Structure 1
Amino acid sequence: MTKTIRWGVLGCAGIAVKAVIPAIQSSRSGRVVAIASRDLKKAEKTAAAFGITKAYGSYEALLADPEIDAIYNPLPNHLHAPLTIKALKQGKPVLCEEPIALSAEEAMALAAAQKAARLPVAEAFMVRHHAQWKTARALVAAGRIGEVRAIQTIFSYYLDDPQNVRNQAAIGGGGLFDVGCYAINTARFLFDAEPLRAIALMERDPAFGTDRLTSGLMEFPDGRQLAFTCSMQLALTQRVTALGTRGRLEIPIPFNAPADEPTVLVLDDGRDLAGGGREEIAIEPVDQYGEQADAFAEAVLSGIPLETGLEDAIANMKAIDALFRSAVSGRWEEP
């Protein structure tokens, strides 16, 4: 294998076109050499826009290409696990968008295929590759705000297009799969622990059947808590606040941090309500999608295990499963 990873992309999803393909093309160790769509003309148009040399009219044809070293899978949620398994059977490692599957059971079947193939598979939580999240975790671990006992997260946007895959329940649409998964993933990252139980309120769109507003409460070891709200039909909002015994840590743009602008972390020691103890920590601009691509490429080239592998993805899916069960049962559920 060459020192440059040759990527193949499954589909022309918005996240691929707007963020991931440009990031791979400008990354240190990769380039996109092929893209596939069930609509060949769409694949050809996207390929031309990015200088990609090959366009395929089927996913299977791309997976069979021996000149592709790794796959990026941004397909609708119901195709994440099945197409990733197909890629593994063709000897291709896969970076797959979140959620890795539609259930923990499906994620475990994927893990079995990954174990048999002995190839890297990663869930594309790009936020863990951003310096602001690495810094936030280091500050929490160092006790800068005391003992962190609560995390509050909001992640919402407005989308009512019935043709959008996020609004199609049968293929894994809905807010918890799309954005609520980030609240869970990042809380697990900051707490460095797994939730013990979860309870959820879920309101579904009467036409789409998808969860358009979900609020969840999760208990972590030692009495720590995550409270979050995610929505696909509320105003665009992102915010994460970690509350400790000696202060708070706020991440103002936690998930879609701009690649070309600095971000900030806000520390406040809580001495007053006017911000008298406020401190801003500047984080240099970074393309979290490019960092993610380079980290995955390094694992492919070196054979060193990924820092965050499928075990982490399965743990996140177990938490999501528990929230879905709770929304039906009205009770606390264990992951």
Structure 2
Amino acid sequence: MTTYGYFLSSEEFTPAELLSQARAAEQAGFDALAISDHFHPWNDEQGQSSFVWSMIGALSQVTSLPVTTLVTCPSVRMHPAINAQAAATAAVLTEGRFRFGLGTGEALNEHILGGPWPEASQRMEMLEEAIEVMRKLFTGEQTMHRGRHYTVQNARLYTLPHEAPPLYVSGFGPQAAALAGRIGDGFVTMTPDADLVGQFRRAGGGQKPVIGGLKVCWGTDGAQALKTAHRLWPNEQLPGELPQILPTPAHFEQASRLVTEEMVADAVVCGDNEDAHLRAVGAFAEAGFDEVYVNQIGPDQQGFFDFYRTDILPRLQGTARQG
């Protein structure tokens, strides 16, 4: 049965607004929360970028929903040993309801300490070693590790959950799906691609969960909603590896000048058409996803939550139960 959650956008909203959205999501009937982990927003129009570990601590006090990072890069900006400590504490605070989504990251967030930005193949290698380090630390044993990318000496985690948080590996192509199947406890990808799901499962993913997400812009004025989506999130429509290699919000703003409203309209549901929202969210369930997270673009959050509470979630969840 597919789980439907709400995606908290750390790039667009203040910490207080994110906490308010978490409460509203639980009241609206969403079953889980996801939250982004960024040092920068994608552009200055979005305008925020809070520290995810502070936010997860606060979320643990205002909601009983599970929380997943979508996604953290554990290999560049913070050493995997520190990420392991943060994740373990998050799992304790949420009483085991924390899931750690992991990816190879973007230069936008990870180059800030001045080091080189590795090629994709090296970033995948670093991610695999980072996961190895974190799994060792989650045992609670004193850990020594000397690898190609990381060294850990005499490290032990003392604050640990009863069970280690699951590590969900993000990817957008066949190679990454295969890596997730081999080393992950689940797979994260942001398009409803049944072929990728199949590649993950064949590579060792089996029945492990597949997690996806999408943005919508609910509003009673569809044209205005489209303008809001285009103003705040044109970066979502940038092709290929650009989102992984552009280093600053200013660079994303420059590239996003090529993104038209028509491109956004083709990719993002804008407005209040029930069937359009149901098709966009339901496409993930049809592609074999186990969890789907929806993010509302723009300021009209309560209208979105009311709409999903009364018109969308009952139909999605009813379909899931029947399935």
* Same fold flag (TM > 0.5): no
Q: Return the TM-score normalized by structure 1.
A: 0.33
* Structure (1 or 2) with the greater strand fraction: 1
Q: Return the TM-score normalized by structure 2.
A: 0.34
